[in-house]
Amino acid sequence: EDQVTQSPEALRLQEGESSSLNCSYTVSGLRGLFWYRQDPGKGPEFLFTLYSAGEEKEKERLKATLTKKESFLHITAPKPEDSATYLCAVQDRTGANNLFFGTGTRLTVIP
Amino acid sequence: DADVTQTPRNRITKTGKRIMLECSQTKGHDRMYWYRQDPGLGLRLIYYSFDVKDINKGEISDGYSVSRQAQAKFSLSLESAIPNQTALYFCATSDLTGEGAGELFFGEGSRLTVL
């Protein structure tokens, strides 16, 4: 069965203090790994898709990387508006294309 | 207007009542999904539909049913609500193929409380 573990559960950073969020996964044949951002009271919003080990994607202050066992979401010089819960999900090769989500990391960036 | 619209946004009901959550989308996507989100458990798939004639059970379908009335409409029903169905429910859509297959577009959620 697919498994996704995200750490830490919660992270508090000072504005400008760079850090990384971790997503460890177990899947029988990775089709894709996805990062989403979720603001309180809102639905998740897609950020990145990664397909193979070594791949990297960037968007503003966020950079996602992928190895064969985990993915990192690096946040460089975060701002308060980056505060949100970041969700990781994996998609396997069973053909159903369904995503299996982790429980998320709640990021708070303090001004 | 939102691309994926869920109604109602909030609902409080009593044990044993029938509840329907509705979802409509303007993205023109064939695939639609219902997820449930609970604190500490993450998003879990309830049902999904790849087109109007296709309905599939997800990870936690017991106690739920769905109807795909049209390409743009997918509703979730709780025939007899129970307190452990209290949760935040999300509808989502996706493209059929290619890199877009795993990119889900979520609605803003329906918070259901069963007393």
Contacts of B102 in chain A (CB under 8 A): 31-32, 34, 49, 89, 91, 97, 99
Cβ-nearest to A43 among B41, B102, B106:
B106
Peptide bond into A40 cis (omega under 30): no
Taking alpha carbons only, the member of A65, A41, A105, A51 closest to residue B106 is A41
pLDDT computed for residue B98 by the predictor: 56
Do A44 and B104 count as a contact with CB atoms less than 8 A apart?
yes
**Residue B100 pLDDT greater than 70, yes or no:** no
pLDDT computed for residue A92 by the predictor: 82
Do B42 and A91 count as a contact with CB atoms less than 8 A apart?
no
Q: How far apart are CA B1 and CA B58, in angstroms?
A: 29
pLDDT computed for residue B95 by the predictor: 80
Question: What band does B42 get if pLDDT is binned at 50, 70 and 90?
Answer: confident
Token duo for residue A12 = 């508090």
Taking alpha carbons only, the member of A9, A4, A60, A7 closest to residue A32 is A4
Give residue ranges of B with CB < 8 Å to any A CB. Answer: 4, 31, 33, 40-45, 48, 56, 58, 90, 92, 94, 99, 101-109
**Residue A75 pLDDT greater than 90, yes or no:** yes
For chain A, the maximum distance between any two Cα atoms, rounded to a whole number of angstroms, is 45
Residue with tokens 């070594």: A54
Cβ within 8 Å of residue B12, ≥6 positions away:
B113, B115
pLDDT computed for residue B101 by the predictor: 65
pLDDT in tens, A20-49: 999 999 988 888 999 999 999 899 999 999
pLDDT computed for residue A98 by the predictor: 79
CB B64 within 8 A of CB B77: yes
Q: Is the dihedral of CA A25, A28, A33, A36 positive or negative?
A: negative
Instruction: Report the mean per-residue pLDDT for chain B.
Output: 92
Averaged pLDDT, B27-47:
93
**Residue B63 pLDDT greater than 80, yes or no:** yes
The proportion of chain A whose per-residue pLDDT surpasses 90, expressed as a percent, equals 82
**Residue B1 pLDDT greater than 80, yes or no:** no
